[in-house]
Structure 1
């Protein structure tokens, strides 16, 4: 299904068999909504589950202009409005976790609870050139050129070896991501900083980190939990893609958190 959101043709999938409260899952950079397929299966009987593709990812068209994480949060707020969602339990992974934080800051009425996985509270100054370099490299060489290095950051060696059937579709998704879509999103990530607004977030918050995540270390994610009042912090034995590598534990953590929030 598609809607035009802020001039962007946006793909989304809505599972509402349960007819319960809304939950929205936001994917990672160079990913698409399919990364949440298993989570949607866990939660669709009790929730109205929304997944969608960010600008320039999956089947959502690329932005004609540069954009910020604030703009991506506004996209989600508009999508929820258009679909008639009064609010949602918001779950974001990586760049999706950045979008989730900004949604909670900019559109608090849209957020029932906040769950952030594998995302920092800000990008340090010394890390910002890394994303600019990735954007430039992908514009020149395409997203297929970053598949192997990305998988090495996203998943532990043991998981990659044991589960090729999981790794292969993720690799294909990275390679299919339009170069300009990736590049503009990477540039948006480079400027991300939510620290100023996080202390004002009054929603129940769960922060999940991967103990083996070298891109977003547990310490970087912990800043979110330390800044939002009464936030819960958990670490899973995984690298960056905790909902993939530790899907059962991730779903159990999230399920318990949502039940406690009811």
Structure 2
């Protein structure tokens, strides 16, 4: 399957940083993060295939196809080496890209992602996908947003919750279920130890699906990884609380620059 020419945005100046969003999201996920990094980094965010302004794929696709899209964007921009970081499903695309193109990657961010799932963990994720296939995506949206955002944020910012739900609604159902399948079925545990790139593993303390236990195992498997657990947060860390994430991300990236 040919790579898709994804819609993208570039902001800032300095070493390049590719930002990879998650399921049914958009590059706008990282808007405030970009604001906090663009004085030192060239931030490249893009919409995954079938999301936002990117073209729709012809038929089903897998993790390797999403890696192909990222490599096509890198080549199009003429960037030799960059920092790569992704949230949720994006936190699987980044490592898969690094596994294939290790010499292209200066550092890696695995944000709110999952690996080393137990059978119970995997069954829970598959059950969510099955429920969406049986009932439709709409009826399950409240369940998803309750997993993504803290109760306090849901109560305080119904406008943001509605905006995030609309992103999902605007994503074609077959694409949303396809990327959810990739997220549910990808298991990085067998090969994460082969990635020796400096990495930051970061998640919310209250994230149910991408919890500190799994992220501790991820960081432990990667020789060059640090682990950051953000208190009081669930999954949507960049939409709910970029101000808590930014200092950690900025510190990590600047340290990598000084190390080279």
TM-score (norm 1): 0.89
Deviation of 1:111 (Å): 1.3
One of 241, 246, 251 as aligned partner of 2:246:
251
- Could you tell me how far apart the structure 1 residues matched to 2:43 and 2:106 are? 14
Aligned match of 1:78: 72
Residues 85 and 122 (structure 1 numbering): CA distance in 2 closer, same or farther, change over 3 Å?
farther
Aligned match of 1:199: 193
CA deviation digits over 1:94-120, x for unaligned, max 9?
001011111111111221111111101
One of 154, 166, 175 as aligned partner of 1:181:
175
The answer as to whether partners of 1:225 and 1:231 remain within 8 angstroms in 2 is yes
Tell me, yes or no, if structure 1 residue 156 matches structure 2 residue 122.
no
CA deviation digits over 1:218-242, x for unaligned, max 9?
1111111000113110111200112
Residues 71 and 38 (structure 1 numbering): CA distance in 2 closer, same or farther, change over 3 Å?
same
Equivalence map 1:40-189=2 (5 Å): 40-128=34-122, 130-135=124-129, 137-138=131-132, 142-189=136-183
Residues 137 and 9 (structure 1 numbering): CA distance in 2 closer, same or farther, change over 3 Å?
farther
The answer as to whether partners of 1:23 and 1:49 remain within 8 angstroms in 2 is yes
TM-score (norm 2): 0.90
**Structure 2 stretches of 5 or more lacking a match?**
none
Tell me, yes or no, if structure 1 residue 11 matches structure 2 residue 7.
yes
The answer as to whether partners of 2:196 and 2:224 remain within 8 angstroms in 1 is no
Aligned match of 1:27: 21
**Structure 1 stretches of 5 or more lacking a match?**
none
- Following TM superposition, the consecutive aligned residue runs of length 4 or more in structure 1 with deviations greater than 6 angstroms are none
One of 214, 218, 227 as aligned partner of 1:233:
227
One of 177, 199, 213 as aligned partner of 2:207:
213
- Could you tell me how far apart the structure 1 residues matched to 2:7 and 2:107 are? 23
Question: SS state of the match for residue 206, structure 1?
Answer: strand
Residues 11 and 122 (structure 1 numbering): CA distance in 2 closer, same or farther, change over 3 Å?
farther
**Larger mean Cα displacement after TM superposition, 183-192 or 140-149:** 140-149
Deviation of 1:126 (Å): 4.3
